């Protein structure tokens, strides 16, 4: 058994010493000269946020991880070496493991040198600390092979207030010819616990972000994607790792990690012979050997993690605060309530039908109309998913007066206009396919293989990048009043081969990486030209929801499954990593459930609609209008508040969650019945100010319906509400209840 208090005392002494070491921009590089003159302990590097600390150190010239965990409570994640601190640490694990020398486990990095030597040895060269703001400090640690001009810099950006560390690597060499990189992890972290519990978020089209928690056994568990463009379709690049015991929302040690990369990824968890866990996170090396030319730099995507000593809830709040500040475009700005026509019309519309929907949008009080798929292509009109992709001109039959007419008609009704594009794709039935066969990913000497009747354009090719950027840029130049885009991507890679890479002499194995780099170049151009244009990130539902893409997008489409019951689970899954302001949740015709249930489920995210309002009864229409007004009065709490998941739909009949405003003056409590049982229970709140007095009100009730909750209309202290909670009573035909608590 570990003696934590003794360890913590040792740790404190050790930290004081470490802080002294870390003062100054560049230190210690002169102190280590491997292979000659290596001393046992040459340097100590502390990377810390307000509650978390990662401690690295050198042993015999090699960079080791000594500690990862809380910097307050003394809880220890990887701790073996602390027994010896401040003496010679003996048993720590590598901070960035290499292949081919004495490493017995998976390597973070692997290459073969030009002389055929397949091993890499990285020794510590020095470090630099850059204070980028009051919040952000970047630590750079440089490593080098003592025998070869091969260099790695490990970057650790510590976000003090959000308790998040963002980590990546840059790789460079000066050998005489290109080197093949076989492994190139962004992060390699180590853990020491009795047990490891991994929560993954897997799924499929229309069933995204299903949670599964398993105890890791000895050996390797990999969460990965090999899907290329629609990379997150089966698995999100995010996970929760609980140490010792499975953590709850409020208890236990947990690390929440996510890779900021919109392509093939690999999260590898290796429990070794000694029961220690070695985590590798990065781009998927599977089939992705990369040829790195001398003096060019290979930059890995960033891996972000946060550590919580008090359960999963705190881990989510940390990451989501970070995402709202740094990770999602304009997350401090308001969003629009929109009406989308996809589920309302599919491909079957013309301009009269659309203008009629504008009327409904105005009447109902939404801000924006979003025209979905089906508006374009003439030689091969886009009347179903089997034609037209790539030909981004208005279809003359459906829209004889063009988009200009639509934007003008929308403006007359004081409704903004948005439009759908899927610029990375092409149907074989299209003029683009006829004009530019060389832009398409497809194998030589094999038949074309289709998914949703389409193929992927080759974004590794700069000409294709120009074309893809031009789709949006062209529309904006012609119709500057377009106020919103939905960027879709409905196909993953299969049978992928780039004639561009062949032409420039690059191996095909680079395609998964170069595709995403090309995509990011286009996103960057989009943002340079249109910094604040709202764009929804969509990939046949949630096939591309990750921290790599979200800095370019204001929101994302979580799933094509809009059945509200299924959405409770799907949105619950996203809520671990992605803030509600970015999570689009639309009220649609899907699912035979009360309209109130649909509205309440949409209100826990960024609410929108995808339905024909003329199909609603007058009282339903009134309910929707009132609901939009209600949402607009509380949306800031959903968008900027801290999330507390209270009762999990995975564990019982009820899902309950709340958002608490930063000043703790206003709170929203959402409750959803997820089975057909009748439920009467109290839901204790979390995160309130115990001494504040809150008045409880049930909101979004249909006209003439009274709240059945005894707390409604009464005032309670935060302490009381956290102890006894709010009583709710739900049954099959009244499946949800939403409460607003306001400080008196
Ligand atoms: C898939 C998206 O997820 C849907 O919302 C819709 O835009 C269709 N594509 C259109 O083809």
Are 684 and 728 contacting, i.e. CB atoms less than 8 angstroms apart?
no
Tell me what the mean pLDDT of segment 628-650 comes to: 98
Q: For the domain that residue 701 is a member of, what is the CATH number?
A: 2.60.40.1180
- Are 355 and 460 found together in one domain? yes
Tell me what the mean pLDDT of segment 155-180 comes to: 98
| Three-state secondary structure call for residue 323 | helix
CA of 13 to the centre of ligand 1 (A): 57
For position 89, what pLDDT does the model report?
A: 37
Q: For the domain that residue 377 is a member of, what is the CATH number?
A: 3.20.20.70
CA of 541 to the centre of ligand 1 (A): 7
**CA proximity to 416, closest of 331, 527, 335, 336:** 336
- Are 347 and 293 found together in one domain? no
Q: Which of 272, 295, 327 is the last residue of a domain?
A: 327
**What is the pLDDT confidence band of residue 38, given thresholds at 50, 70 and 90?**
very low
- Are 547 and 428 found together in one domain? yes
Q: Which of 557, 577, 609 is the last residue of a domain?
A: 557
Residues with CB under 6 A from ligand 1: 342, 372-373, 420, 488, 490, 538, 540-541, 557, 560
**What is the pLDDT confidence band of residue 72, given thresholds at 50, 70 and 90?**
low
- Are 296 and 353 found together in one domain? no
For position 79, what pLDDT does the model report?
A: 46
**What is the pLDDT confidence band of residue 14, given thresholds at 50, 70 and 90?**
very low
CA of 130 to the centre of ligand 1 (A): 43
Alpha-carbon gap, residue 597 to 673, rounded angstroms? 9
Q: Which percentage of the chain shows pLDDT scores above 90?
A: 89
466-519: pLDDT as tens digits: 999 999 999 999 999 999 999 999 999 999 999 999 999 999 999 999 999 999
- Could you tell which of 490, 589, 611 is best to mutate to test the pocket of ligand 1, judged by most ligand atoms within 8 Å of the CB? 490
Tell me what the mean pLDDT of segment 571-595 comes to: 98
**What is the pLDDT confidence band of residue 67, given thresholds at 50, 70 and 90?**
confident
CA of 420 to the centre of ligand 1 (A): 9
Does pLDDT of 604 surpass 80? yes
Of 91-100, 276-285, 421-430, the least confident: 91-100
- Could you tell which of 342, 383, 422, 491 is best to mutate to test the pocket of ligand 1, judged by most ligand atoms within 8 Å of the CB? 342
Query: Within a domain: residue 514?
Result: yes
Tell me what the mean pLDDT of segment 57-61 comes to: 89
Query: Within a domain: residue 460?
Result: yes
- Are 263 and 129 found together in one domain? yes
Are 232 and 225 contacting, i.e. CB atoms less than 8 angstroms apart?
yes
Overall domain count for the chain? 3
For position 268, what pLDDT does the model report?
A: 98
E strand segments, 288-446: 290-292, 298-299, 303-308, 338-340, 368-371, 416-421, 425-426
Query: Within a domain: residue 601?
Result: no
Alpha-carbon gap, residue 607 to 616, rounded angstroms? 18
CA of 433 to the centre of ligand 1 (A): 21
For position 8, what pLDDT does the model report?
A: 31
Nearest protein CA to atom 9 of ligand 1, as residue = 540
Alpha-carbon gap, residue 465 to 570, rounded angstroms? 32
For position 405, what pLDDT does the model report?
A: 98
Angle at 737 between CA 732 and CA 741, to 5 degrees: 165
Query: Within a domain: residue 627?
Result: no
Are 320 and 547 contacting, i.e. CB atoms less than 8 angstroms apart?
no
Tell me what the mean pLDDT of segment 87-115 comes to: 87
Tell me what the mean pLDDT of segment 155-170 comes to: 98
Catalogue the long-range contacts made by 442-445 (C-beta closer than 8 Å, 24 or more residues apart): 442/495, 442/496, 442/497, 443/495, 443/496, 443/497, 444/497
Q: Which of 307, 327, 347 is the last residue of a domain?
A: 327
- Are 553 and 440 found together in one domain? yes
- Are 172 and 294 found together in one domain? yes
- Could you tell which of 232, 373, 384, 487 is best to mutate to test the pocket of ligand 1, judged by most ligand atoms within 8 Å of the CB? 373
For position 632, what pLDDT does the model report?
A: 98
Query: Within a domain: residue 598?
Result: no
Tell me what the mean pLDDT of segment 147-172 comes to: 98
525-558: pLDDT as tens digits: 999 999 999 999 999 999 999 999 999 999 999 9
Q: Is the pTM of this model over 0.75?
A: yes
Does pLDDT of 250 surpass 80? yes
Alpha-carbon gap, residue 627 to 566, rounded angstroms? 21
Query: Within a domain: residue 36?
Result: yes
CA of 539 to the centre of ligand 1 (A): 8
343-385: pLDDT as tens digits: 999 999 999 999 999 999 999 999 999 999 999 999 999 999 9
Does pLDDT of 570 surpass 60? yes
Please state the atom number of ligand 1 nearest to the C-alpha of residue 385: 11
Numbers of helices and strands, H then E, in the chain: 13, 39
Give the residue numbers spanning the domain of 730: 644-743
Nearest protein CA to atom 2 of ligand 1, as residue = 540
Nearest protein CA to atom 5 of ligand 1, as residue = 560
- What's the whole-number average pLDDT of the chain? 92
- Give Cα separations from 227 to 65, 210, 266, 441 (angstroms): 33, 18, 12, 13
In the structure encoding, which two tokens stand for residue 716, read together? 């309670």
125-152: pLDDT as tens digits: 999 999 999 999 999 999 999 999 999 9
Kind and range of the H or E element at 43?
Answer: strand 41-48
- Are 17 and 151 found together in one domain? yes
Query: Within a domain: residue 581?
Result: no
Tell me what the mean pLDDT of segment 87-113 comes to: 86
Query: Within a domain: residue 580?
Result: no
Neighbour-count burial of 296, counting CB atoms closer than 10 A to its CB (0-12 exposed, 13-18 middle, 19+ buried): exposed
**What is the pLDDT confidence band of residue 449, given thresholds at 50, 70 and 90?**
very high
- Are 48 and 184 found together in one domain? yes
Does pLDDT of 88 surpass 60? no
CA of 373 to the centre of ligand 1 (A): 7
Please state the atom number of ligand 1 nearest to the C-alpha of residue 557: 3
Cβ-based neighbours of 370, under 8 Å, separated by 6 or more: 338, 339, 340, 341, 418, 419, 420, 484, 486, 536, 608
- Are 374 and 306 found together in one domain? no
Q: For the domain that residue 302 is a member of, what is the CATH number?
A: 2.70.98.60
CA of 540 to the centre of ligand 1 (A): 5
Q: Which percentage of the chain shows pLDDT scores above 70?
A: 92
- Could you tell which of 208, 543, 557, 609 is best to mutate to test the pocket of ligand 1, judged by most ligand atoms within 8 Å of the CB? 557
**What is the pLDDT confidence band of residue 278, given thresholds at 50, 70 and 90?**
very high
- Are 246 and 354 found together in one domain? no
- Are 394 and 415 found together in one domain? yes
Angle at 343 between CA 340 and CA 346, to 5 degrees: 100
Does pLDDT of 698 surpass 70? yes
């Amino acid at each position: 058994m570990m003696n934590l208090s003794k360890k913590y005392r040792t740790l404190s002494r050790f930290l004081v010493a470490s802080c002294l070491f870390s003062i100054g921009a560049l230190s210690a590089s002169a102190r280590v000269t491997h292979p000659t003159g290596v001393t046992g302990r040459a340097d100590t590097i502390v990377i810390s946020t307000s509650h978390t600390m990662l401690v690295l150190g050198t042993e015999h010239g090699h960079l080791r991880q000594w500690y990862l965990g809380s910097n307050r409570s003394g809880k220890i994640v990887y701790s073996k070496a602390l027994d010896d601190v401040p003496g010679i640490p003996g048993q720590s694990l590598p901070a960035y493991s290499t292949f081919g020398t004495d490493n017995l486990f998976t390597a973070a990095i692997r290459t073969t040198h030009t002389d055929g030597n397949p091993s890499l040895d990285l020794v510590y060269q020095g470090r630099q600390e850059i204070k980028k703001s009051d919040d952000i400090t970047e630590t750079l640690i440089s490593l080098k092979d003592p025998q070869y001009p091969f260099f790695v810099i490990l970057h650790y950006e510590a976000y003090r207030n959000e308790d998040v560390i963002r980590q990546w690597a840059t790789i460079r060499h000066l050998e005489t010819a290109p080197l093949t990189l076989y492994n190139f992890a962004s992060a390699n972290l180590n853990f020491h616990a009795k047990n490891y519990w991994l929560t993954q978020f897997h799924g499929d089209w229309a069933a995204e972000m299903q949670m599964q928690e398993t105890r890791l056994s000895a050996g390797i568990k990999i969460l990965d994607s090999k899907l290329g463009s629609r990379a997150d379709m089966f698995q999100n690049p995010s996970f929760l790792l609980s140490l010792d015991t499975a953590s709850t929302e409020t208890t236990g040690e947990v690390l929440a990690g996510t890779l900021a990369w919109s392509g093939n990824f690999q999260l590898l968890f290796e429990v070794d012979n000694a029961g220690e866990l070695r985590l590798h996170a990065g781009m998927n090396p599977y089939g992705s050997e990369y040829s790195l030319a001398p003096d060019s730099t290979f930059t890995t995507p960033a891996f972000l993690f946060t550590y919580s000593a008090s359960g999963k809830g705190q881990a989510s709040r940390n990451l989501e605060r970070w995402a709202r500040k740094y990770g999602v475009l304009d997350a401090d700005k308001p969003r629009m309530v929109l009406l989308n026509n996809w589920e309302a019309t599919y491909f079957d519309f013309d301009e009269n039908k659309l203008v009629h929907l504008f009327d409904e949008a105005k009447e109902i009080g939404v801000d924006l109309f979003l025209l979905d798929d089906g508006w374009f292509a003439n030689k091969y009109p886009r009347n179903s998913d089997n034609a037209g992709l790539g030909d981004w001109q208005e279809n003359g039959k459906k829209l004889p007066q063009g988009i200009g007419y639509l934007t003008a008609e929308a403006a007359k009704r004081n409704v903004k206009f948005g439009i759908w594009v899927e610029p990375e794709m092409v149907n074989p039935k299209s003029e683009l396919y006829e004009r530019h066969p060389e832009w398409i990913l497809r194998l030589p000497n094999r038949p074309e293989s289709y998914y949703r009747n389409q193929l992927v354009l080759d974004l590794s090719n700069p000409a294709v990048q120009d074309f893809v950027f031009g789709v949006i840029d062209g529309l904006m130049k012609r119709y500057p009043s377009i106020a919103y885009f939905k960027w879709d991507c409905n196909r993953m890679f299969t049978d992928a081969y780039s004639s561009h890479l062949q032409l420039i002499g690059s191996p095909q194995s680079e395609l998964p990486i170069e595709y995403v780099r090309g995509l990011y170049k286009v996103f960057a151009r989009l943002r340079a030209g249109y910094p604040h244009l709202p764009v929804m990130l969509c990939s046949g539902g949630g096939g591309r929801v990750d921290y790599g893409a979200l800095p370019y997008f204001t929101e994302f489409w979580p799933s094509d499954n809009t059945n509200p019951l299924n959405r409770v689970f799907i949105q619950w899954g996203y809520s671990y990593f992605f803030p509600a302001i970015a999570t689009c949740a639309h009220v649609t015709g899907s699912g035979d459930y009360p309209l109130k249930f649909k509205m309440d489920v949409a209100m826990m995210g960024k609410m929108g609609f995808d339905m024909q309002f003329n199909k609603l009864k007058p009282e339903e229409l009134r309910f929707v209008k009132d609901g939009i007004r209600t949402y607009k009065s509380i949306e800031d709490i959903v968008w900027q508040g801290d999330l507390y998941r209270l009762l999990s739909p995975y564990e019982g009949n009820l899902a309950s969650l709340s958002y608490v405003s930063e000043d703790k003056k206003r709170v929203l409590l959402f409750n959803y019945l997820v089975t057909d049982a009748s439920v009467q229970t109290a839901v204790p709140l979390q995160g309130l100010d115990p001494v504040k007095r809150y008045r409880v009100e049930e909101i979004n009730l249909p006209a003439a319906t009274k709240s059945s909750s005894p707390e409604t209309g009464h005032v309670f202290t935060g302490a009381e509400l956290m102890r006894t909670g709010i009583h709710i009573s739900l049954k099959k035909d009244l499946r949800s209840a939403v409460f607003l608590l306001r400080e008196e």
